[in-house]
Structure formats: structure tokens, C-alpha cells
Amino acid sequence: MKMINVLIVLIVITTTLISGCNEQTTPTNSFEHASNPCNVTIQADVIEGEAPLTVNFTSINCGKEEILAYQWFFQDPLQGESTEAEPTYTFYGKGVEEVLLVVKCTNDTSAGGEILINVTVPDPEVIKDTSYEVSYSLLDQSSSFLMVIGVIQSIAKVHIDTVRLNVTLYDDENSEIAYQETHATPSYIDPDEKAVFFTAFEDYEGFDHYEITIESFLQFNREPYYDLEIISSSADFIDNDYIVSGSIKNTGTEDIHLDISVPCYDASDNLLYIAGDEFNTFAPGEERSFSAKVDDILFDGSDIDGYEIILSPS
């Protein structure tokens, strides 16, 4: 007789999690027993996939009380939250991420639910050789330094944390004469975004050609991006210098340091030079002017036909 009672209890609890929500197509769980008149469970349109993974969430009211308020908690490195009834959220890092929902109902009742989202990423070694397109330029400044500068654009499907570039100089017999490592900025790069790099060699006797290899590292604990807006920009020749100026607004909520890189191109879109400016402190809501100059002593600015602006906040 005791065995029969146990079986009846198990059947009731199982029915609580499924019945009344029997149209769900994804695994869900509920914190509350059916005896609580406030009861909710979660539905997601996808529960597994490759980063960046965008998931649409909905909640199903399985109780008798009306739901008055929603509070979602996304337990990934970004620790996102939402008060929408049906939020959309994008996961960038690798791992099994827990999503929690707490609701408040009429008659001062509450309930909660949870669901797990499995986010995968490609093998970093696959990303290593196929993640970027590179344009670069070689500058010999007054025979004192040999500089290699460049712009890279991510063609990866996932967010990248750090990009390291290995620059090697060779002589005419293809023997290595110098080697340096450098990093692209900004560090955090989403698909299709660009970053800049440069390195300078003081000793390059016998130089004939160089080679660049790239290593990119996947970001599993992605930091939040800062919100910035380029208000205006223009370019002009002033006293034989090519100057790009404009204004930028910090539309975010944090004080930041901002590096402003301005790659300059000729009419065939070949990279010629990277000018720059920086803001040591940039307050939320502040709008500031910048000016990036290509000095005619270093480079013949008359060949410049266009530019772009790349922002690196930290």
C-alpha cells in the first residue's frame, strides 16, 4: 500500500512539470510545485548552438494566478538581465549557461523556472588560420626605423578576445634577420569588425621582405563593450599635412580611455599610413573633438584618397 502512495506522488510531480505546458518543444524546469497558484516554466527556440548564439525566450504560465512582473537572469560571463516577458539574448562564450526566471503574480505569490543553454565554439586552431583578412604597409622613416603597420578584419563567426601578430624580416636569401610580436587593437573583436597593428624594427640591415602570421584567441569570458558614437569626421590638407578631425560621444555609462586609429588609403584601397589620437579620460555623456595627422615629413599625404576610424576603448 505504501508503494502505491509513492507512485501516486511521483506521477503528480511529473505532471506538474509537463502538463498545462504540453506544447513545449525544449527541456524546461520549474521551481514551484503545482500547489502554488503561481507557477511558470520557460521555453527557448534553441537550446544548443555555436557562438554567438541568439536565443528567443518565452515563459508559460502554468498556474492560476496572473503574472505581474518578470525578472530574467542570464548566468553567462556578461551576467545579463531582462524584465521583458519574452526577451532575446545572445551568448558569446563557451559553456553550459543557466537562465533563470523569477515572476511575481497576483495575491502576493511568486515562482521561478530555469533552462540550460549549451554554447559551443569552433576549435581555436581552426580559427587561427582563417579568421582574418589583412592589409598592411611597409614604411622606412628616415632610415632610422622600419615599420610594419596594418589593418585586420575578422571573418570569424565568433567573438575574438586577443589577436597576436608575428612579424618576421628576411634577407634576399630568405634567412631570418629579425622577429617581433605585436597585438592588434582593439582587443575584443566581433565578426566583421576591424583592428589595427604596428611594429617598428630599429635593426633591419639586409632586409629584403617580411612575413606576417596571425594567432587569434577565443574569448570565453567576454567583457562588455563600451558604447561610443562617431558624431562627425572630415579630412583636409593643412600645410602639407593630411589631417582627419571630428567628434566622438561616449554614450555609455563608464569612464574610459580611448585610442583613436585612422587608417589612410590610396585610390586603390591600399593602406598607406595609420594616424591616431587618444583620450586619456572620456566621461559618460561627454562629446570630444579629435585630430589625427599624417605629417608630410613622414609620408607624402598627397597620395591619400580616403580613411576610416577604428575606436579602441579600455
- Grid cell digits, residue 238: 593643412
* DSSP, residue by residue, 228-253: EEEEEEEEEEETTEEEEEEEEEE-SS
- Percent composition of the chain: helix, strand, coil (DSSP 3-state, to 5): 10, 55, 35
pTM over 0.75: no
Instruction: Give the three-class secondary structure for 214.
Output: strand
Q: Positive or negative, the Cα torsion across 10, 16, 18, 22? A: positive
What domains can be seen in the chain, in order of their start residue?
Answer: 26-120 (2.60.40.10), 124-218 (2.60.40.3230), 228-313 (2.60.40.10)
Q: What is the C-alpha separation between 139 and 254, in angstroms, rounded?
A: 37
Structure confidence by residue, pLDDT tens digits, 152-205? 887 766 667 778 888 888 889 999 998 888 888 887 777 778 888 888 888 888
Euclidean distance between CA atoms 50 and 100, whole angstroms: 21
Segment 116-164, tens digit of pLDDT: 999 887 654 444 444 556 666 666 555 577 888 888 887 766 667 778 8
CB atoms closer than 10 angstroms to residue 107? 9
Which residues, including other chains, have CB under 8 Å from residue 192's CB and lie 6 or more apart? Answer: 153, 154, 155
